[in-house]
Structure 1
Amino acid sequence: MSDDTDKNVPLRAEIFGAAEGTKVLVLLHGFGGTHHIWRQVVASLRDADPCLSIIAYDLPGHGENLDAPDSGPPKRAAQLITADLTRRGVQHFHLAGHSMGGAIAALIAISTPERVSSLSLVAPGGFGPEIDIKTLSAFAAAETPEELRRCLGAMSAPGTVMADDDMKALAASRAQPGQTSMLEAIAAGMTRDGKQGQLPGEWLEKLTMPVALLWGTADSILPYHQSQGIPAHFALHTIVDGGHMLPEECPETVAHIIALTGR
């Protein structure tokens, strides 16, 4: 999927745990976020399996990978991440993605199925045409902790508390020169005539690794009914009254399902 030139484009990621020869899990966050969204999920996973090695990327065009070349389209992000894993010597891995990161994770699994041991998709993009692009566009332009908290609150189940430290960290990421303009450009390319692009069903049907799909029934960004009609071998985990930000709303549940899928 990626060409040889991408192997010379290193991406930054936070790595939890050791080392070569251990089980590797790759985490991909959603649009407008950073890898810090997985903080509580990572803690639960590491408690359950201290030998697990986790690579949590900032998506190309986001956070510490703002400067990744040609960032924006999910297909390009999948190319760059796949090439970076090759550069790191990671040939086989478990994979989980949230929202836009879920669409990217699915593209990686579709293009290199022999490398992906399991796939966990958390409210993923690309499973239906509907998307609340108005809220996502507002999130792209948000800069202060208060603005970010307001946008994330609109995406989350009622009562979800966003930690102050997380909002400050996200605001610091947004303060990078060019970050909000990059996010606004990515948001502008997400839809055509108000609809998001969809992953072809025949591509998903060909996936043979264990696949879990997690979706909240109160998701206002990507509606829950997009989880219907999935391939029969996908395991659907319905989060009753869950919103879009499941890694922050119910991190222990998300961690449990990722671990269960990767057994």
Structure 2
Amino acid sequence: MARTGQPGTAPGVAEADLDLGDHVTRLLDRPARDPATGADPLVLVHALGLDRRMWAPVAGCLPPDRRVIAYDVRGHGRAAGAPPPATVRDLAEDLLRLLDTLGLARVALAGLSMGGAVAQTFAVHHPGRLSALHLVATAADPQPAYLERADRVERYGVVEQLPATLERWFTPAFLAADPEPVRYARETLAGVRAADFGAGWRALARLDVRAGLGGLRLPVRVIAGGDDPATPPALMRGIAQDIPGAEFVIIDGVRHLPALEAPERLAALLRPEFRRP
């Protein structure tokens, strides 16, 4: 089974800058080949330290009859150096501005890691804008350990955290093979400003959406990497159990970044048709 993908090379994808007020983001935007199918656009939110290109391998595996959008979260990619977020709610409100600017009344939303925190927060505060929610390798509760990571990166820099981060992100065999997705992740993370990376960790440390999950009334799929040490299956299962009717799925043999290590298998789970609560 192929498990590689080349970020930035998904066929039919256009890129454009979008002004969100206090910062500019960049979109990866693949239009639907046949918009008449009626599937809502799928918006993808990337992990801390990466950018919109993390989703390019997945976008390349998705059916062409659906619009797919990924964007740079505040402090990442084209949006590096933007005013830092105080909370994940700030990042969720950025997403709301993005949807409003694009004229998208309702979308399906998928987020991985930090992106999953943004997606949960958006769903809790703006449920009417979503037709489906996919939460991948993420958390829902405050994580005090993330403050230690913020302190460390601000003191020693991002490069010092590269080895440990890559080991959390990828299985040993995939990391040792050093395919294009690993090189993309290494190079992108190495280029992140310490201030942006630290601000991301501090915002995630304050994440607390667990109490709002029980009020969600939309199709939700919670997806865990079977070997993920950062957000293990037991943690992800707990999130699924708190959301009425949520499905829980494990992608075996991957760690924290199935979007890069197993894009075909993740793409197969981001389909619009699944059980409603």
| TM-score computed with the length of structure 1 as normaliser | 0.79
| C-alpha separation in 2, matches of 1:112 and 1:97 | 15
- What is the Cα deviation at residue 126 of structure 1? 1.6
1:204-230 deviation line (CA, Å, top 9, x unaligned): 121111100001232111232212233
Select 2:174's aligned residue among 137, 156, 160.
160
Shift of 1:172: 5.5
Which residue does the alignment assign to 2:219?
Answer: 210
Q: Does 1:105 align with 2:119?
A: yes
Pairwise CA distance, 1:69: 3.2
Matches within 5 A, 1:37-186: 37-45=54-62, 49-71=63-85, 73-127=87-141, 129=143, 141-143=157-159, 148=162, 151-161=165-175, 162-164=178-180, 167-168=183-184, 171=187, 174-175=190-191, 179-186=193-200
Give CA-to-partner distance per residue, 1:100-149, whole Å, 9 cap, x none: 100101111121111111100101122575867767877884349xx746
Equivalence for 2:11: none
- Structure 2 unmatched runs, 5+: 1-19
Residues 171 and 255, structure 2, Cα contact 8 Å, conserved in 1:
yes
SS in 2 for 1:255: helix
SS in 2 for 1:259: coil
Instruction: Check the 8 A contact 1:139/1:151 in 2, yes or no.
Output: no
Measure the CA separation in 1 of the matches of 2:151 and 2:168.
Answer: 13
Query: Does the Cα contact within 8 Å between 2:22 and 2:83 map onto a contact in 1?
Result: no
Quote how far apart the aligned CAs of 1:183 are.
0.5
Which residue of structure 2 aligns with residue 199 of structure 1? Answer: 209
1:30 aligned residue: 47
Shift of 1:88: 1.2
* 1:31-55 CA distance string (max 9 Å, x none): 111111112111110xxx2121111
| Identical counterparts, % of pairs | 24
Q: Does 2:271 correspond to 1:259? A: yes
Q: Give the superposition deviation at 1:261.
A: 4.7
Q: Which amino acid aligns with 2:252?
A: V
Tell me how large the CA RMSD over aligned residues is.
3.3
Kept in 2: contact 1:93–1:115 (CA 8 A): yes
Offset, 1:63: 1.1
Q: Deviations over 1:143-162 (max 9, x none)?
A: 49xx7466323332232245
Amino acid in structure 2 at the alignment position of 1:142:
V
Count of residue pairs brought into register by the alignment: 247
> 1:231 is matched with which residue?
243
SS in 1 for 2:255: coil
The one-letter code matched in structure 2 to 1:62 is H
> Aligned residue for 1:3?
none
Q: Is the 8 A contact 2:107 2:131 kept in 1?
A: yes
TM-score norm. by structure 2 comes to 0.75
